[in-house]
Amino acid sequence: MADDGKRIALLIDADNAPSGKIDPILTELARHGVANVRRAYGNWKSHRLKGWEDALHKYAIQPIQQFAYSTGKNASDMAMVIDAMDLLYARNLDGFAIVSSDADFTPLVMRLRADSMRVYGFGEEKTPEPFVKACSTFLYLEKLGVEDEPGQAAQVKPKRSADLRQDAALVHLLRSAVSASADDDGWTHLGAVGSHLRNQGSFDERNYGYRNLSSLFEATDLFEIRRQGQVVEIRELPQPASRPRARRGRKKTAT
């Protein structure tokens, strides 16, 4: 359930974000609070941003005009950073949502988080990892199941079990989260595991194609899950012991 009192500023780098993704972004932010500041930055005289016009009106997003003062430079980046710092110093917000696939916003995100702000990042799968990791949470736009074509919902296939197990960083992260709060028998509450994961960085199970955390754990085939009513507990399955290699003895030479 959303915290209706949490105030969020939605800042969009229109040069690096598709207009068709705004509806699921706002739906996601509604889980956390209210996006009472909505701004999109770009050179609105450019034909590249023509598709944004309907979205600006439909979702009450304020367009911030930023002329390209030099070739090859994105002037919108600087305008977004300046506005973000002004909003931060006004001290009337609880979080920021940054929509961009540009890693240049990484220092801004780190500065906002240093001031105890939650930062919700949204970008395409091409988004560089430093920006992804800097955010409190980050969602790939391709995983939000938006409608790219009228009446056609995008189908996001969950990653296969074998692919999940081959993701060494993910497996290490999941195992560490379970062991961090496990009891003597190895069991821990799924809620505690989720809190640990989200404290580690921008983790979100939907980036792997799963709607909830328990489904992701089950898909790895590396964990055991038990349910008692609303309580879900989890522990790591024992890893198969590796078979010792047979020692080859030396042949004795006849004397």
* pLDDT tens-digit readout, 29-88: 988 889 999 999 988 888 888 889 889 999 999 999 877 655 545 667 888 999 999 999
More confidently predicted of 248 and 226: 226
| Six token digits for residue 232 | 């879900």
Cβ-count burial of 209 within 10 angstroms (0-12 exposed, 13-18 middle, 19+ buried)?
Answer: buried
Question: What is the residue-averaged pLDDT of the chain?
Answer: 82
Q: How many CB atoms lie within 10 A of CB 187?
A: 15
Q: Is the pLDDT of residue 150 over 70?
A: no
Q: Which segments within 155-239 are labelled E, that is strand?
A: 188-189, 223-228, 231-236
| Six token digits for residue 155 | 């189908």
pLDDT at 114 (0 to 100): 94
Summarize pLDDT for 151-165 with one digit per residue, the tens: 444 445 788 888 888
Q: Is the pLDDT of residue 234 over 70?
A: yes
Q: What is the mean pLDDT of residues 78-99?
A: 93
Sequence ranges of the chain with CATH classification 3.40.50.1010: 7-152
The CATH code belonging to domain 161-236 is 3.30.420.610
pLDDT band of 230, cuts 50, 70, 90: confident
Q: What is the mean pLDDT of residues 6-19?
A: 92
| Six token digits for residue 81 | 């950073």
140-176 burial, b if ≥16 CB within 10 A, otherwise e?
bbbbbebeeeeeeeeebebbeeeebeeeeebeebbee
pLDDT at 151 (0 to 100): 41
pLDDT at 25 (0 to 100): 92
Q: Is the pLDDT of residue 240 over 50?
A: yes
Sequence ranges of the chain with CATH classification 3.30.420.610: 161-236
Report which of 22, 20, 203, 23 is spatially closest to residue 99, judged by C-alpha positions: 22
Q: What is the mean pLDDT of residues 128-137?
A: 90
| CA dist., res. 123 & res. 127, Å (int) | 6
Share of the chain above pLDDT 70, in %: 82
More confidently predicted of 184 and 202: 184
| CA dist., res. 124 & res. 99, Å (int) | 9
Question: What's the length of the chain?
Answer: 255
Identify the architecture of domain 7-152 in CATH.
3-Layer(aba) Sandwich (3.40)
Summarize pLDDT for 116-131 with one digit per residue, the tens: 999 999 999 899 989 9
pLDDT band of 168, cuts 50, 70, 90: confident
Q: Is the Cβ–Cβ distance between 102 and 77 less than 8 Å?
A: yes
pLDDT band of 254, cuts 50, 70, 90: low
| CA dist., res. 241 & res. 179, Å (int) | 19
More confidently predicted of 250 and 176: 176
Report which of 34, 36, 35 is spatially closest to residue 2, judged by C-alpha positions: 34
pLDDT at 244 (0 to 100): 55
pLDDT at 72 (0 to 100): 47
pLDDT at 98 (0 to 100): 96
Residue where the block lists tokens 């739906």: 27
The amino acid occupying position 175 is R
| CA dist., res. 156 & res. 175, Å (int) | 25
| CA dist., res. 99 & res. 103, Å (int) | 11
Q: What is the mean pLDDT of residues 5-25?
A: 90
